[in-house]
Amino acid sequence: MTIIKRIITENPKILVGYSDITALLMAICKMTGLVSIHGPVVRELAAGRQRNWENLLRLLTSSRPMALHLAQGSGLVSGKATGILLGGNLSLICHLMGTPFLPSLDGCILFFEEKGEPLYRVDRMLTQLKLSGRLQGVAGMVAGQFEGCDDRAALEQLLLDRLSDLEIPLATGLPVGHGRENRAIPLGMEAELDVDQMTLSVIEGCVT
C-alpha cells in the first residue's frame, strides 16, 4: 500500500467517476490527500448528457468557487455547516468501513446517492453507518439522487428518522448520482452547506 500511495502522490492525475468509483475516490483521498472528482463517466457522453460534461469542464478550468442549488430537494434539518466535502455511493461508503480506505468523516460535509435499492436496504445502510459511530463527528449531510429507491416522501422520512437526532444540517436535492443530472463535485475540498438557503458551495476554485 505504501508503494501505491507513493506512485499516486508522485504522479497525480485527474480522476473522475461515481457509483463503484466511490471506492477509488475515497481511498485516494485517505491515502494521499489529493482532490478527486465525483462526476460523470465517458459512457454518459453518448447518452446525450452534454450539460454534465460542460459542468465538469467548467469545474476543471475555473478558479471561481462552485455553488450548487438544491432546488429539487428539501431542507430536513436547518442550519449551516462548513467542512471538507466527502461522499459518493452509499453502498460503497458502507463497504469501505473496516478497511484502511475510508477517510475520517470528522468535521466533513458528507453527501451520498444510491440506485435501485429498496427502502429497507437504504435503512440498513444508514443504520450501519450510524451504529458504527462514523457519523458522530460529521458537520452536515446532503442526499443526492436515489434512483429507483421508492418514493421521495418515504425516503425523506427515513432520513429524518435515522439522522435528525445527530442535530446537524441535513438536506436533499444534490444533483449527483445515477439520474440525468450528475454534477461534478470535488472531493477533499472545503465546502459550505446552507440548508436555509438550500445551497452547497465549494469555497475555493479547483484551479488556482
Q: Which residues contact 171 (CB under 8 A, 6 or more apart)?
A: 70, 73, 74, 75, 76, 77, 141, 142, 143, 193, 195, 198
104 part of the active site: no
19 part of the active site: yes
Catalytic residue of the set 19, 36, 38, 156: 19
38 part of the active site: no
Torsion-angle region of 34 (φ positive above 0: left; ψ -120 to 50: alpha; else: beta): beta
Catalytic residue of the set 36, 113, 156, 192: 113
Catalytic residue of the set 44, 178, 190, 201: 178
Annotated active-site positions, please? 19, 113, 178
